[in-house]
């Protein structure tokens, strides 16, 4: 399977699971992120587990940012796109996960407010 397709699948599923655990099942966003992160490391290759964990940060967003499943799917596509176009940014420095999630969350909020 194409590596970029796997990035998109990991990102969308991770954002969705974190959002679902947080907002539907009522766990805290930190616990939701932790659950998804542990699941990712148990079932995915290291590279994809990191992508899933990074994407999970987006799923921690409040209902003001991700109010419904459509916004969650949009944010999954946006975070995957950001990951795909910035593979060497912050390599070896740290901070890429949070920065990627922040950019993706803001972009989702702006995009979703324009179409919704």
Q: What is the pLDDT of residue 76?
A: 96
Question: What are the residue ranges of helices labelled H in the chain?
Answer: 3-19, 29-43, 46-59, 69-85, 96-115
Q: Average pLDDT over the chain, rounded to whole?
A: 92
As a whole number of angstroms, the distance between CA 109 and CA 116 comes to 10
pLDDT band at 5 (very low <50, low <70, confident <90, very high): very high
Q: What is the pLDDT of residue 94?
A: 72
Q: Are 32 and 60 in contact (CB under 8 A)?
A: yes
For the beta carbon of residue 106, count every other beta carbon within 10 angstroms: 13
pTM of the entire predicted model: 0.91
- Assess whether pLDDT exceeds 80 at residue 88: no
- Assess whether pLDDT exceeds 70 at residue 90: no
Q: What is the pLDDT of residues 51-62, one digit of tens each?
A: 999 999 999 999
DSSP state of 20: I
């Amino acid at each position: 399977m194409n590596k970029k397709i796997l990035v998109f699948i990991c990102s969308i599923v991770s954002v969705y699971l974190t959002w679902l655990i947080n907002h539907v099942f009522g766990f805290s966003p930190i616990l939701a992120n932790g659950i998804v992160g542990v699941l990712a490391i148990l079932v995915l290759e290291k590279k994809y587990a990191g992508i899933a964990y990074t994407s999970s940060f987006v799923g921690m967003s409040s209902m003001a940012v991700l109010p419904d499943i459509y916004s969650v799917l949009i944010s999954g596509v946006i975070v995957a796109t950001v990951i795909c176009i910035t593979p060497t940014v912050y390599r070896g420095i740290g901070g890429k996960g949070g920065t990627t999630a922040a950019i993706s969350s803001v972009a989702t909020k702006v995009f979703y407010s324009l179409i919704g």
